[in-house]
Amino acid sequence: MNIKINKIALSIALLAIVACYFLGLQALAEDSYVFDPKNTNLQVFEQSILLPMSAPPEVVVKSTLTVIVTAYSSTEAQTDSTPFITASNSIVRDGIIANNLLPFGTKVRMPELFGSKIFEVDDRMHSRKGNFHVDVWFPTFEEAKEFGTKVAVLEVLAD
C-alpha cells in the first residue's frame, strides 16, 4: 500500500514538473512577461526568472563553549552494533555531531573549523568523554582519522 502511494506521489510530481517546463517555455515564447528592472525581488538569469530572492535567515548565537572536537565514522569499532543509527534514532548524515551536554536537535557552529556550516546534535558519546567534547560525523574512517583532534569554540544557536 505504501509503495503504491509513493508511486502515485512520484507520478504527480513528475507531471507537475513537465507541465511547469512546457508552460514556462510557452510563456517565454509569447513574451508575456515584461521585465521590470526596479523589481529587486526577482533574480534574472539569461532572460529567465528564477526565484524571488530572500535574505538568508539570521543566525543568533545563544552561547559559546570551548570544546574538544574529534571525528567519527559509521564503524562498529567507533560506535556500536548499529553504526548507521544515531542515539536519537535517525540515520547518520552530513552535518550531525555527537555531544553529551546539548539536547538533540540543538543547532551549533564551529566557525574556526567549518566556517558558517551549521551542525545538529543528533548523537551521543561514551560518558567518559564528558560534556565538553564534540564528535563530528564523517562518511569514511579515513576522513575522520585525517580530521584528528582539535580545540575550538562551539557556538550554540538560538532556535
**Residue-range definition of the domain harbouring residue 41:** 2-52
Mean pLDDT by 10 residues, the chain (159 residues): 64 65 49 50 52 74 96 78 85 94 96 95 93 94 94 94
The answer on 76 and 35 residing in a single domain is: no
pLDDT digits (tens, 9 = 90+) for 58-68: 889 999 999 99
What is the number of domains present in the chain?
2
The answer on 141 and 68 residing in a single domain is: yes
The answer on 103 and 27 residing in a single domain is: no
The answer on 153 and 120 residing in a single domain is: yes
The answer on 69 and 47 residing in a single domain is: no
DSSP string, the chain: -HHHHHHHHHHHHHHHHHHHHHHHHHHHHHT-----TT-TTEEEETTEEEEE--PPPPP-EEEEEEEEEEEE-S-TTTS-S-TTB-TTS-B--TTEEE-SSSPTT-EEE-HHHHTT-EEEEEE---GGG-SSEEEEE-SSHHHHHHH--EEEEEEEEP-
The answer on 77 and 8 residing in a single domain is: no
Put simply, whether the predicted model's pTM sits higher than 0.85 gets the answer no
The answer on 67 and 30 residing in a single domain is: no
Supply the mean pLDDT for the chain: 79
